[in-house]
């Protein structure tokens, strides 16, 4: 093993010994090791920070407003690290496939990443299939407001999903770099919330 490889193995071992889970990500052609976050930061019942941002759906750019979206019903706000990466593409496809199920629960979906709007114009068509908007947070202000940044890379979003009720309160949060359960979990949270808020 090369001395560089040995140093990396030693670093991973130290992280594991501290109880941290590590993930490797290819960023700017370098391999970086990140400990995973213990969990999302906004808690159930916390007010969701309002925001407006440039967003794209179907390649069309517009100003997205969380407050306006909440007037129509619950919002699933999901943060993802970077457009066109493998996990984020898988996750986008899963949200696409579930759009009708979200509509049946009276909810809308918005994705947020640190990508610029030109990148997201393409991503909104090719991977989001023009089914839901993705918003640009190039300066990471929204990411930071929701405490959704990647450990050791504060301008990049972790994979965090929130469900926000129309009264702007957080009713569900889920953090995992795996894209597998974000859709299933947020849909179940919406079903549970709707079951408790059906008109009598």
Active site residues per annotation: 88
Secondary structure (H, E, C), the chain: CCHHHHHHHHHHHHHHHCCCCEEEEEECCEEEEEECCCCCCCCCCCECCCCEEEEEECCEEEEEEHHHHHCCCCEEEEECCCCCCHHHHHHHHHHHHHHHHHHHCCCEEEEEECCCHHHHHHHHHHCCCCCCCEEECCCCHHHHHCCCEECCEEEEECCEEEEECCCCEEEEEEECCCCCCHHHHHHHHHHHHHHHCCCC
Cα(33)–Cα(8) distance, rounded to whole angstroms?
9
Q: What are 176's two structure tokens?
A: 């995992």
C-alpha to C-alpha distances, 70 to 76, 87, 107, 164, nearest whole angstrom:
10, 28, 9, 8
């Amino acid at each position: 093993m090369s001395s560089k490889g040995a140093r990396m193995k030693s670093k991973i071992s130290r992280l594991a010994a501290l109880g941290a889970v590590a993930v490797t990500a290819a960023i700017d052609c370098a391999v970086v090791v990140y400990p995973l976050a213990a969990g999302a930061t906004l808690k159930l019942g916390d007010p969701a920070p309002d925001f407006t941002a440039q967003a794209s759906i179907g390649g069309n750019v517009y100003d997205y407003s969380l407050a306006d979206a909440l007037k129509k019903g619950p919002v699933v706000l999901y943060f993802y690290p970077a457009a066109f990466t493998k996990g984020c593409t898988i996750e986008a496809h899963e949200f696409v496939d579930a759009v009708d199920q979200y509509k049946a629960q009276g909810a809308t979906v918005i994705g947020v990443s640190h990508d610029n709007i030109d990148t997201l114009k393409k991503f909104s068509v090719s991977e989001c299939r023009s089914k839901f908007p993705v918003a640009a947070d190039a300066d990471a202000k929204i990411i930071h407001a929701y405490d959704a940044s990647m450990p050791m890379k504060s301008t990049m979003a972790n994979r965090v999903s929130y469900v926000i009720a129309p009264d702007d309160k957080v009713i569900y949060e889920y953090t995992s770099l795996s894209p597998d359960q974000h859709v299933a979990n947020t849909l179940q949270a919406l079903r549970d919330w709707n079951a408790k808020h059906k008109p009598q």
